[in-house]
A and B are shown apart, each in its own frame.
Chain A
Amino acid sequence: MALLGHVCLVLALIVCGYGIAVSVYGARSGRAEFSLAGRRSVYALAGLLTAGMVLLEIAFVGNDFAFNAVADTSSRTTPLLYRLAALWSSQEGSLLLWAWLLSMWSSLVLFLTRKRLREVASYATAILLGFGGFFVGLMVFYANPFTTTNPVPAEGVGLDPLLRFPTMMIHPPMLYSGYTLCTIPLAFAMGALIARKVDGEWIAVVRRFALAAWLFLGMGILLGASWSFSELGWGGYWGWDAVENASLLPWLTGTAFLHSLMIQERRGMLKVWNVSLPLATGILAIMGTFMVRSGILDSIHAFGGATVGVPFLLLIAALLAGSIYLVVSRRAILASTHRLDSLLSREAIFLFNNLVLVGLAFVIFWGTWFPKISEALTGQAASVGPPWFDRYTVPLALILVLLSGIGPVIAWRRATPRGVLRNLLVPIAAALITLVVLIAAGVTQKPLAITMFCCAAFALGSVAQELWRGTRVRRGASGEAPPVALLALIRRNRRRYGGYIVHVGMAVLFVGVAASSSFQHVSQLRAFSPGQSTRVGAYTIHYVRPTAALTPHDDPTHTGSTLNVGAVLRVTKDGRYVTTLRPSEDFYESQEESQGSVGHLIGGQAVSSVGIDASLTRDIWSAIQPELETPRLKHIIEVGNKTIPFSRPDEGLFVIDFLAHEYLKHPPPAQFRLIVSPLIMWIWLGGLIVFAGGLLALSPSPGALRRRISRPASLELAREVKYRELRDLELDLATGKLSREDYEATNAALRLEALEILNQLESEPSTDASDPIDAPDHANPGSPASGRPNGRAGALPGLLEQDDGVSDEQDREEDSPAVEVALHE
């Protein structure tokens, strides 16, 4: 089996090399069959790595300790689900997971683009296979997951108890999906640069994957935060740890890219920026992977004794050099086709948001790498702590939340100051009301948190106003009931309203972060005994009784510990019962014989099991560190060690059971950590809202599916974008973002541009006459050039308003202005 796995990897390496060669040749020579072979190599890679994953999982499930990976990270006492997850807890296994996810996502993107962007996609194929080859190469030459040992050990080390938490099943695959998806925009950006095709088309292809990368990465980060909060015994969710930061960096630049690509789509601006951001995002994702693998920075996540640092450094250096070379050498074709019309426009706000996001990424990058930077500059490694990070990230986060409220209410191209002010009245009122309410409620300390609450209210007010106005406009035309109109509005504009929902989620999340970090009460009790009470914030916590028992192993949720020692805490507020908390600590066995036949059964790691009472307004959090090293309990273990042989673990467990009873009879004081944290739940809720919004923005519109395969793709795309611009313009006028004069000027210009595109489309011969072209006015798509460009100018407005968008539900989402034109009248 191990041999088979090894063969899979070697074959995968060969497939990568072959695929790179044929893809590059296919792209350079323009011979489609070679590009096809390149794409098929990616599918083959996905197949081989899937086989590798399955083989290794079989070994984990079957406790095949001949595999080093299994013996080092799993054991018979590790429950089944955690044995499955143990695959990615080792260096080797996690590399395999990375490569596998990369091959799967690459296959998906190449399958979806199989009829588009042939040249760019061929180069992208080569680059993606390059990443695949790199990771497979690492496994073959440095960290092979299929190495075996002889003689076969009888038992494995077991999965680190800290990792035995349900999130272990989804957090790493989510995060790795995010990381690997980050390489797809990078590959296509590089492909577009190499092929010198930097128009909007590659952006249109890559947008979904950039969004998916952003979504997966964000959810992975959030899952990690909630894992930290609900398992680790410190009660925090973010510690500015190097590896946490590393995952946040590509997320921030990815967020910037998702905004700036809209400017290129619509306005043909910021092309240099738009290729640089995905390049940076991809490189940061690789760097994040590198940081975990190399242990170069001190982090609780770092792999110890890792051997793969140097190849990673070489890869990052090559990527950086390649990116810089490509952007510099292609700067001529990256010139903008438009200029920024006004500082009061959505473009300008997006640009500002980009600067803030990149600035934030720079701050975090600097702080994270500071130990190395300082070592290089001063010869003395030094690190900056969380206060340093907070000092810069908090103001930047405030600005971001504020901008997320301003962006949606400002029109594209040009907005009038009066119009902007009028549109900001509701958000500003929301912020002011929040401020007044907070002050009236007596919340006057913590100015930064209060500012965040107001900024969040501002952003929420802005989105609420957008939804309200959009619904009203739609109702005016269709006469639908408000909820129906709202749903229809959102359904038809998934990108736009998905984005707004993400803004809502982020505002909610930041409220949770600000409230929980500024207004939490923490109590660290050194010696708390049964019967005692203490106050934390407004709550009184009473230590009712201790608990101690052998962990039942027939329980499906058990994590494989030996002994569980904890406490029952009763929480009251003003004398009224609130809840009962049951924090405990799980003791695991160790492999160290020096601890004795009984001692080793609980001599391994001790892991907190946190007792939480969660609610919308506050979480009451508790963790216990029981004291087992009392003379009495130590004596029991010593006697047990002397009388019971290692061969009888069942008798050892009997002694542990006796120890548990003794603990209950004479419970020694234990250490407790108690936290009352307001609005923590809002962080997770905000995350869910972000997730929903992201999914909405990701989901394809029914019309777009039909139109995917189109004739001159770039022209079709240009037409769709122009239609969307026109439609947005109508909506901007209808919702009062634009003055009548600005509307008319821009409208005339846009219609001329649209006409130009339509004329070009008419004159292009169709490559596939059977294509379903959506617009009814294109009933004859294959017709030769009309040759009367001027004659059609007058026909355009009618053409755009021809079909009634409101009754025509399924058809067009974002692409034709007809809907809003009709609505407007």
Chain B
Amino acid sequence: MPARAATERIRKAIALVNSVADEAGDEEITPTEIAEAIRDCLEMSEVDLVPNVRRYLGEALDAVSDGMPADFVAMTLYAALGALREGS
């Protein structure tokens, strides 16, 4: 799968967001850490191979900075992941 690395990074970001959404884990995860994980995804050129992936990631980043609920951020990340899957 040509977008495997990007897929992995998006999954990692989703796992972080989900741990906030599910209130799991011992350590508190900050919005800054989540934003960082999304920026890591945006740095990958693979996200430009499939339409809308970069835009969903951008939406997710905006949602983090706007203080939207973790579920909402997770939804846009899943959308990015799904778009990558459909495009690949």
Chains A and B are bound partners: no
